[in-house]
């Protein structure tokens, strides 16, 4: 390994709820078939914010200092032993979860359900709010020139949306209902359009987000604070539930055509929830949920490179690595914030 890196690796480390510190850490050494990546852009995800605010998500508890951030892109700066897929200098998007590759789930193509997956910014694995990270070369995906660093980082949430569309079997001419217009909901709208959906209804209570959804592909935006979904007569082939609100889930399922599919993407407040079981039976509906994604990066990159999705449209602010804590707070403080980016390689402050 040639060492073209300058040796200065900072990372935004979560020490406990509300306690993020920018610290110097050694530049990691890429292991066999790994690459060392200089991070260019990292998106702030709701899960990062949740760890920052609560120090845990369900049974995942931050017990030791951990670097946040799992939506990232960067530039390959060194290769580990046997790594041959990328050259130094390649721009790449990082798929942040590396599964074991051998277990029943991995062998069946469901590697997102691998119990031994090592996933960025999920305790105890460090994430990408840093200057340098290492990753298995097969989980770094080359970015075409047309895809910016920020868009490259957003291959991760776009993968969530693509995966949801795949689970819902969204196809040309479909009618899709997306409940919740946060970053994932907005990307679900764009993805549904890219999958060929021609009628895309989105619901939320935030008029900024509804307006943005309409500008980026939704054919109908409903503010459910003013008009209940039940009163709209919407019938959908697929529901992509991105709000985590129990009421949205129920109303959404009730809007499905016979044999339609509901996909849970947003996480609700409770382990359990109420669903219209009689309707699921009488109309033979399908209900499932997504946990991350599998095999989505190539499609996500192709959609971005071909302008079938517009990832920049959801970016509302950029922060430097030193401002990571401000970036984690931005969503709470600004109702117009959607996707906030941290740019570790940039000296620039908030834009």
Report the site for its own copies in 85-114 (rule: CB under 8 A). 100-113
- What is the C-alpha to C-alpha distance for residues 6 and 100, in angstroms, rounded to an integer? 32
Integer angstrom CA distances of residue 73 from 129, 135, 258, 343: 11, 11, 41, 10
- Report the DSSP beta bridge partners of residue 61: 56
Smallest separation (angstroms) from its own copies to the CB of 138: 5
- The region, left, alpha or beta by phi > 0 then psi within -120 to 50, assigned to residue 344 is alpha
- Report the DSSP beta bridge partners of residue 313: none
303 binds its own copies, rule: CB under 8 A: yes
2 binds its own copies, rule: CB under 8 A: no
Both structure tokens of 255: 């809007």
The residue within the footprint of its own copies, chosen from 142, 275, 326, 345 (CB under 8 A), is 275
188 binds its own copies, rule: CB under 8 A: no
In sequence order, which residues have a C-beta less than 8 Å from that of residue 38 and are 6 or more positions away?
5, 74, 75, 77, 131, 132, 345
291 binds its own copies, rule: CB under 8 A: yes
Smallest separation (angstroms) from its own copies to the CB of 255: 16
Find the binding residues for its own copies in span 144-163 (CB under 8 A).
Answer: 162
Mark the segment that binds its own copies (CB under 8 A) among 147-155, 172-180, 329-337, 342-350: 172-180
> Interface mask (CB under 8 A) for its own copies, residues 46-75, using x and -?
------------x-----------------
Buried b (16+ CB within 10 A) or exposed e, 312-339: ebbbbbbbbbebbbbbbbbbeeeeebbb
Smallest separation (angstroms) from its own copies to the CB of 165: 7
Find the binding residues for its own copies in span 235-254 (CB under 8 A).
Answer: 249-250
CB 35 within 8 A of CB 86: yes
The residue within the footprint of its own copies, chosen from 1, 5, 88, 267 (CB under 8 A), is 267
The residue within the footprint of its own copies, chosen from 5, 279, 326, 345 (CB under 8 A), is 279
Q: What angle do CA 235, 241, 247 make, to 5 degrees?
A: 80
Smallest separation (angstroms) from its own copies to the CB of 292: 9
- Report the DSSP beta bridge partners of residue 20: 14
How many chain residues are in contact with its own copies, going by CB under 8 A?
Answer: 71
């Amino acid at each position: 390994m040639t060492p073209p890196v300058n040796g200065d690796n900072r990372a935004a480390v979560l020490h406990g709820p509300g306690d993020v510190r920018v610290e110097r850490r050694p530049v990691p050494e890429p292991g066999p078939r790994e690459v060392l990546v200089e991070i260019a852009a990292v998106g702030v995800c709701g899960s990062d914010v949740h760890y920052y605010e609560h120090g845990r998500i369900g049974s995942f508890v931050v017990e030791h200092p951990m670097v946040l951030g799992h939506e990232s892109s960067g530039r390959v700066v060194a290769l580990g032993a046997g790594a041959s897929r990328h050259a130094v200098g390649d721009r790449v998007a990082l798929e942040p979860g590396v599964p074991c590759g051998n277990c029943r789930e991995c062998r069946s193509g469901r590697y997102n359900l691998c119990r031994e997956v090592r996933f960025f910014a999920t305790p105890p694995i460090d994430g990408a709010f840093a200057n340098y990270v290492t990753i298995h070369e097969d989980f770094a995906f080359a970015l075409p020139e047309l895809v910016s660093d920020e868009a490259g980082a957003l291959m991760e949430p776009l993968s969530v949306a693509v995966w949801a569309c795949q689970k819902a079997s969204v196809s040309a001419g479909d009618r899709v209902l997306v409940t919740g217009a946060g970053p994932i909901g907005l990307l679900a709208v764009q993805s549904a359009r890219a999958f060929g959906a021609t009628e895309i209804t989105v619901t939320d209570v935030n008029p900024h987000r509804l307006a943005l959804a309409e500008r980026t592909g939704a054919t109908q935006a409903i503010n459910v604070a003013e008009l209940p979904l039940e009163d709209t007569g919407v019938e959908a082939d697929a529901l992509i539930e991105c709000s985590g609100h129990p009421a949205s889930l129920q109303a959404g399922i009730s809007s499905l055509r016979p044999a339609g599919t509901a996909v849970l993407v947003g996480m609700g407040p409770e382990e359990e929830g109420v669903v219209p079981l009689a309707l699921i039976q009488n109309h033979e509906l399908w209900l499932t949920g997504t946990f991350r994604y599998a095999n989505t990066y190539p499609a996500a990159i192709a959609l971005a490179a071909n302008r079938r999705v517009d990832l920049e449209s959801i970016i509302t602010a950029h922060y430097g690595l030193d401002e990571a804590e401000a970036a984690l707070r931005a969503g709470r403080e600004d109702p117009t914030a959607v996707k906030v980016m941290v740019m570790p390689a940039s000296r620039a402050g908030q834009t």
